Structure 1
Amino acid sequence: MGILSFVSFPVFTLYPDSIQERFIPPNGYKRVVYPKTSFASYLQNFPLKPKGSPVLLYNGNHKQNQVHAAVLDFPLLKRDLIQCADAVMKLRAEYFYAQKKYDAIQFKISNGMEVPFHRFAKGERVDVKGNKTSWKQGKFKKGYGRDVFEEYLQFIYSYAGTISLKSELVKKSVIQLEPGDVWIEAGSPGHVVMVVDKATSDDGQMVFLLAQSYMPSQEMHILKSEGEYSPWFPLPKGNNFQTPEWEFQTNQFYGFLNLKKSP
């Protein structure tokens, strides 16, 4: 896994070349509009790199399998630390961080331990000994600044993955699909792709856009589909859902749980 270092984008601005600016819904479909402060709107308005940009790996090389329609605009650091599940958690955390909803930033690591950002902000860190973890005090940096936030995220990337992420999600029907939902297969390896936009037709049909990161660490990108509306995907109708680099079971579809109050 490698680190994606996100630029701090304003949440409520319509970017000059965002997901929703570049990708117009197919004829007969209209984009679903969400509240400006929602995670769905944050994803729809996420900025993209210039048209024609390749997907880059953490080391600057081109991804071998270029299966994308666009590349999300955030830079990579030179470590192979963040992959598919980490990118999903990063987007979720960045959304809450931009809104200063710091208590909402919380993830489980692989042994099931809950790791909220606010404890890092208080100056605590996690002591890891094999599969055992505990909180420790020390002369650690405190506060909600970007440096502490990045340290927190790097810890999450190192000790979380598809298995821990799936444990935080709630199973959904695909007919309930909204931006922010995911298809996820937990395992080593596993994979996850995230819905980042949605459009509907007058007769109730639905299409959506998907984004992923992958192995090794690489820029998150909008996937192409094989249908007539590519890169828009129609709802899968069979038991399997084929994406360019992974086939999911259609029912491996999940959304984030409702926010919990941090202790």
Structure 2
Amino acid sequence: MKKILLVILALVVVGAFAYQFKSVKKSVEIISSAIKTPDLVNKDSLTIKSRVNIPLGFKRVEYNTGSFQEYLRNYELKPFGSKIINYDDSQYFWQSGHVGVLEIPVPNNGLQQCADALIRVRSEYLWDNNRKVEIGFNFTSGHYCSWLKYAEGYRPKIDGNKVSFHKTAAKDHSKTNFYKYLNLIYTYSGTLSLYNELPKINDVSKLQIGDMLIKGGIPGHIAIICDEIVNETGDKLFLLFQGNTPAQSVHLVKNLEDSTISPWYKLEKDAVIPVSNYTFYDSKFVRFK
């Protein structure tokens, strides 16, 4: 009888241990899953830098205060959950590819598409930092159009691929006229002109905030690096934001291919890189001058 009781007691102990081990195993699985797919999005923040947390083992690459890189990294965002809105005030049909919407107005003229949105961001940075002399872009035809010449009253006369500039307007250096100039650039510039005009980045180890992932073409597409982190072995991850066609809210994109680091991206040259609702099949990079 005593022997039977000892056997029963042993079975109870083994069963209890097995149950506890099962619970511990389940807890380990949950913790492991959380580690593998951390939530890197801070929903209460209102800048790119504060909206996205850094994966374990990485740190942000430092840039000088007042630089274009810091300007992009600290760009203001609308509250989390804000929708992507088209130029005509309708909602974009797909709302699952972004983690933030930038505080950039969308003109109702429909001109501010993917390349145009980045042209605007760059131009506003130069304007705000008293570097207006640097504001200028090539038309797709290759002709350069500067803000200062436009402000002095020079306007393009366009005949096919022939472009000439003539003084036909009064001087006007106002911010209102500046946005009229940008509308002109939006009309005659795009991903193709940016790709042909801007310096190429062939070594991805040299990529930095402000560089752009680009498919130059008609149509083409473009997205800009807006944050950068690095680990001890030199591996880098990046955040991207983009405008789109039709003209719509500029938005900080998710990484839909790798949820373990999303919205951070690993970027490679000549690679297939899906970015939200567009895929770059032969990735190239350019940098503003």
Question: Whose RCO is larger (CA < 8 A, sep 6+)?
Answer: 1
- Greater Cα offset, 141-150 or 89-98: 141-150
Cα contact 2:228–2:237 (8 A) shared by 1: yes
TM alignment of 1:226-241, pairs within 5 A: 226-227=257-258, 228-236=260-268, 239-241=271-273
Give the equivalent residue in structure 1 for 2:31.
Answer: none
Q: How far does the alpha carbon of each residue in 1:70-118 deviate from its partner, in whole angstroms, 9 at most, with x for none?
A: 0001221211111111111111111101111111001000111000111
Q: Indicate the residue corresponding to 1:62 in structure 2.
A: 91
**Alignment match, 2:159:** 129
Indicate the SS of the match to 2:239.
strand
Separation in structure 2 between the aligned mates of residue 63 and residue 180 of structure 1, nearest angstrom: 26
Matched with 1:220 is 250
- Distance, in Å, in 2 between the alignment partners of 1:36 and 1:152 is 28
Deviation at 1:32, TM superposition (A): 1.4
Q: Does 1:43 align with 2:94?
A: no
Query: Contact 2:106/2:112 (CA < 8 Å) preserved in 1?
Result: no
CA distance in structure 2 between the partners assigned to 1:250 and 1:164 by the alignment: 18
Q: Pick from 63, 69, 77: which aligns with 2:107?
A: 77
Q: Distance in 2 between matches of 1:77 and 1:171?
A: 30
Partner of 2:276 in structure 1?
244
Aligned residues: 241
Give the equivalent residue in structure 2 for 1:109: 139
CA drift of 1:250 comes to 5.1
Q: Alignment RMSD, CA only?
A: 1.6
Partner residue in 2 for 1:86:
116
Higher helix share: 2
Q: Under a length normalisation based on structure 2, what TM-score does the superposition of the two structures give?
A: 0.79
CA distance 1:119–1:231, change in 2 (3 Å): same
Asked which structure has the greater CA Rg, the reply is 2
Cα distance in 2 for partners of 1:59, 1:238 equals 36
Distance 2:83 2:56 in 1: 28
- Secondary structure of the 2:125 match is helix
Is contact 2:140–2:188 with CA below 8 Å preserved after alignment?
yes
Deviations 1:119-155 (A, max 9, x none): 01212111223332211112x2423210121111010
Write the distance in 2 (CA, Å) between the matches of 1:238 and 1:126: 36
